[in-house]
Structure 1
Amino acid sequence: MKKIFYILSFFLVLTSCKDALDIVQDGEINNPEVAFHSVEDMQKFLNGSVYPAVNPLSEISFTALFTDEIGYGPSSVSTSDILTHRFVLNSTTSQVSGIWVGNYNIVNKVNILLKGSTLINYNTLSADDKLLYTNVLAHARAIRALAYITLESYFSPNMKDANALGVILSAIPADIFTTKLPRVKNSEIYALIESDLQYALANYNTSNITAGTTQPQHYLQKAAINAIAARYYNYKGDDVNAKLNASAAISESGLTLANGTGTAYTTMWTDATRGEILWSLYRPNNTTGSWSNIAGLWTTNSTDINGSVNFDMSRKLFSLLNNQIAGGDIRYDVFIDASSKFDPAYPSGPNPREDDVIVINKYPGKSSPASSAMNLRNDIKMFRLSEMYLILAEVAVHEGSLTTAATNIKTIRINRSKQGVTTAVTYTTAQQAYTDILLERRRELCFEGHRYLDLKRMGVAAGVGIDRDVYDDDNQTMPLTLPASDYRFTLPIPLDEINANPNIQQNTGYN
């Protein structure tokens, strides 16, 4: 019997990006026989349906709210966001559903493309079309691998245990009216992830999969696929392959860390230059398109004090960026808007929340925007070179090489120093190294969706949990920390999925 499962993203699957995908009409998208007749059809589906489905705003929003990246700003905050910020996490939390839905939507669209590709006779294609055929599949399978890596990292209680409970496995297009599948062991999900990554790395080629001219970082290149693999193997605890792929991502890319002594780091965040970006999601520099405004997760109109700030930067994160590395930290200048209000008496002033507003400016809008609609819109940086150095540092600790770990952290700090200098970095114990790596990841990768998973992976070993300031909330009786051992460092399966799929098992702590 054909095994298909229910996923929340069915309504998304039935809606394609019509501007880029005229070959598929609503209601036909699950029927590859209708949609795919040529390699060009595959290419259109990849560009018009698969790539646009990749959107990690739910992950970024949830991580910022739940951990210690943000505090309440002066403008209004929704009740649901308040609950998430106060560690109320359950199967109805909206960002949880968004992570589940969004990534299974990607999986299903890739499955549709892969099934459609079998209808095209590869042997009859021209040499150029054969290259394009395999390259489309390489891109699609790398993206499916990333979707499953994301699902595993949030919903599996322990990615380092091959026998732990994973997520739902599907390699064929979904149909909500037939069999509902259970969750499977991590090992079964890993087999598909590794098959996808191996195919993508072996078959990636330079044939042009885009419809026109675009910046190279807006589509996967081989170095970015290595970066996906490096993150996966690091999360899984496979040090050999994590190190191999992180090193390959650095060497294959031809890029270097953006240096804080010049403009490279600053202009990377306005999308004016590539900098050290391995892969970013394109946000068009016009008022059309379906992309969301990423800075709108924290502010309303613009990333300045007059932009109706809903959330500002947490005080602990601010203190970590405020001249904590030698020569001054370029990330302070880039991530914090100059219009921010700083109360010199904080936290003992009469109105510490109202008089101290640290405006998040990591996504400042595109440079020279066509209109005010671009004030909150930037490319989303999926993978950057600095993450690869952080992975190498983490692996070095696993291998017992504390000196190598320190060297990788020092490399990042030198490049984030506005004077290109740093103090010595030395570790004497693994716990000390983990703590410092977590600290550097907190600074470097803030508002990119990493902190929650970083604490889940390393928090216990480092003795670190969520770490807030008392004024990150307007209720000063709220807890300021949550240990990384807490059950809420694994997300619940969304309630809609539980209600519709009797075969699926909920995670511990949420029943």
Structure 2
Amino acid sequence: MKKIFYILSVFLVMTSCKDALDIVQDFEINDPAVAFKTADDMKLFLNGNVYPAVDPSNEIFFTSVFTDEVGFGPAGVSTSDILTHRWVLNSTSGDASGVWVSNYNVINKVNILLDRSKLVNYNSLNAANQATYTAVLVHARALRAYAYITLESYFSPNMKDPNALGVALSTEPADIFGTKLPRVKNSEIFALIESDLQYALTNFTTTSVAAGSGTQLQHYLEKRAINAIAARYYNYKGDDANAKLNATAAIAGILPTTAASYSTMWTDTTRGEILWSLYRPNSAVGAWSNIAGLWTTNSTDINGSVNFDMSRKLFSLYENQIPGGDIRRDVFVDATSKFDPFYPNGPNPREDDVIVINKYPGKNPPLASATMQLRNDIKMFRLSEMYFILAEVAVHEGNLATAATNVREVRLKRSKTGVAPAITYTSAQQAYADILLERRRELSLEGHRYLDLKRMGVAAGVGIDRDKYDDDNQNLPLTLPASDYRFTLPIPLDEINANPNIQQNPGYN
């Protein structure tokens, strides 16, 4: 079930063998001086290599299975996925390899683009091509920053400590025979991330880098999306001032999607509050993945051979929590789901209770054919996350009332009646717990829960919280504290074997 596209060591090959060949095939030549002659050549590489490499499917799937978002469905799951669900995590885990290598693949492609862009004589270009040249670099550097932020969040034991161990720093195209790079301090990775983000925000223009028709504004990074990337980064890092500044900039002028149009945002028929999403075209071939296929086989209904269904405890958070009803219950759960009226005390609670995930319901015609039932744009950043970031910052500042206001803003928009109870926090721990609760509801199956618990779980007194019947073994523990070492991923064994300079994370030796 896991969508792991790259499994080789990043510093041995940096991309898979097929991927390395694809880079050459795109140009059908081996001489970069010929391949990169114009700003349009740079744009072609951005669209043909860099943007398609960005795919958080590994993070989304791992987070859903490892934490408390899904349970085993009736169609059965693989042995490796069973181990992930039972918190067996080590250097041979494909989940860690997928996150590590896919993000370094993005980084390497950006490094290639930045290096080859030097072959294009900027001063010889006309104004329009100079604008394209700069726009390509803006997008490329913002995407590199995003990839490094992702790697840091999963592999650094503590992103809030600049002296803690980070990941390997690579700013040049991979040399498969060159020096193997060690991991460096967070501060060194942060310097590159902040340089990339600053360049992107300072030089951003509305010059289009789109490959052609069929894409919309949210399918490429707009300035507010780069602000959103920066807001997440600074929030993870613990820089409240910059997290607040960038989250506020991302929010300016728009509001979270209301209940009336929430469902159409997930079918990709309206943009809603999406700041950036990855476009999934109507094609049965190519690099794009069927996002719903992470949890089901054929379709997002009870007859679709469901491998994983929504965990009972997550489902319960959408039931009777908001007066008048929570629109997320209707949107995220398919109507064909089986609900055991006696759950959990019925004779067969696992078999008679199948909560089918419908958060990614497929594109509707004419956006896609009937064969694209599992394909949706992947929502990378949404406005609601920015409100949660502002809520976290407010707690850090001791302003619990502002934190409550930001959380309630999201709840109001998810209420079918536009009504939500007032929120009053009396302690930081209570506020953190409620922010985690609302993030669990709103950002479920989008790849956040694992990192949310890593970042806030200890302060909130919250860890993984499962239902007894999420697994077919009812004797397993249902909780895992956020202080557990497994809330940092292991460096993949392939990387360690190929690179003696790389250091393993604590707990995995």
Q: Same fold (TM over 0.5)?
A: yes
Count of residue pairs the alignment pairs up: 498
Look up the match of 1:472.
Answer: 470
- Separation in structure 1 between the aligned mates of residue 155 and residue 27 of structure 2, nearest angstrom: 35
Q: Which amino acid aligns with 2:199?
A: Y
Instruction: Give 3-state SS (helix, strand or coil) of 1:76's partner.
Output: coil
Look up the match of 1:238.
Answer: 239
Unaligned runs of 5+ in 1: none
- Of 27, 38, 42 in structure 2, the residue corresponding to residue 23 of structure 1 is 27
Residue identity over aligned pairs, in percent, reads 74
Instruction: Give 3-state SS (helix, strand or coil) of 2:317's partner.
Output: helix
Instruction: Give 3-state SS (helix, strand or coil) of 2:491's partner.
Output: coil
Look up the match of 1:111.
Answer: 111
Matched, 1:436 2:434: yes
Shift of 1:34: 4.2
Contact 1:8-1:496 at 8 Å conserved across structures? no
- Of 402, 411, 414 in structure 2, the residue corresponding to residue 413 of structure 1 is 411
Q: Which amino acid aligns with 2:343?
A: Y
Q: Which amino acid aligns with 1:323?
A: N
Matched, 1:302 2:308: no
Matched, 1:165 2:165: yes
Contact 1:7-1:104 at 8 Å conserved across structures? no
Look up the match of 2:197.
Answer: 197
Contact 1:7-1:497 at 8 Å conserved across structures? no
Look up the match of 1:393.
Answer: 391
Look up the match of 1:491.
Answer: 489
Shift of 1:330: 0.4
Contact 1:386-1:412 at 8 Å conserved across structures? yes
Contact 1:166-1:186 at 8 Å conserved across structures? yes
Normalising by structure 1, we get a TM-score of 0.95
- Separation in structure 2 between the aligned mates of residue 215 and residue 488 of structure 1, nearest angstrom: 38
Q: Which amino acid aligns with 1:58?
A: N
5 Å-filtered alignment, 1:20-419, equals 22-25=26-29, 28=30, 32-213=32-213, 214-251=215-252, 254-260=253-259, 262=260, 264-368=261-365, 370-419=368-417
Unaligned runs of 5+ in 2: 1-9
- Of 498, 501, 504 in structure 2, the residue corresponding to residue 503 of structure 1 is 501
- Separation in structure 2 between the aligned mates of residue 507 and residue 115 of structure 1, nearest angstrom: 31
Shift of 1:206: 1.0
Q: Which amino acid aligns with 2:258?
A: N
Runs of 4+ in structure 1 deviating by more than 6 angstroms, as ranges, are: none
- Separation in structure 2 between the aligned mates of residue 455 and residue 290 of structure 1, nearest angstrom: 31
CA deviations on 1:330-364 (whole Å, 9 max, x unpaired) are 00000000000000111011100000000000000
- Separation in structure 2 between the aligned mates of residue 97 and residue 35 of structure 1, nearest angstrom: 31
Instruction: Give 3-state SS (helix, strand or coil) of 2:184's partner.
Output: strand
Look up the match of 1:9.
Answer: 15
Change (3 A) 1:283 1:17: farther
- Separation in structure 2 between the aligned mates of residue 176 and residue 320 of structure 1, nearest angstrom: 49
Contact 1:155-1:490 at 8 Å conserved across structures? yes
- Separation in structure 2 between the aligned mates of residue 358 and residue 8 of structure 1, nearest angstrom: 39
Q: Which amino acid aligns with 1:133?
A: Y
- Separation in structure 2 between the aligned mates of residue 109 and residue 53 of structure 1, nearest angstrom: 8
- Separation in structure 2 between the aligned mates of residue 168 and residue 146 of structure 1, nearest angstrom: 15
Normalising by structure 2, we get a TM-score of 0.96
Instruction: Give 3-state SS (helix, strand or coil) of 1:100's partner.
Output: helix
Contact 2:218-2:276 at 8 Å conserved across structures? yes
Instruction: Give 3-state SS (helix, strand or coil) of 1:14's partner.
Output: helix
Contact 2:11-2:498 at 8 Å conserved across structures? no
Shift of 1:327: 2.0
Shift of 1:377: 0.4
Shift of 1:436: 0.0
Shift of 1:256: 2.0
- Separation in structure 2 between the aligned mates of residue 11 and residue 142 of structure 1, nearest angstrom: 26
Instruction: Give 3-state SS (helix, strand or coil) of 2:418's partner.
Output: coil
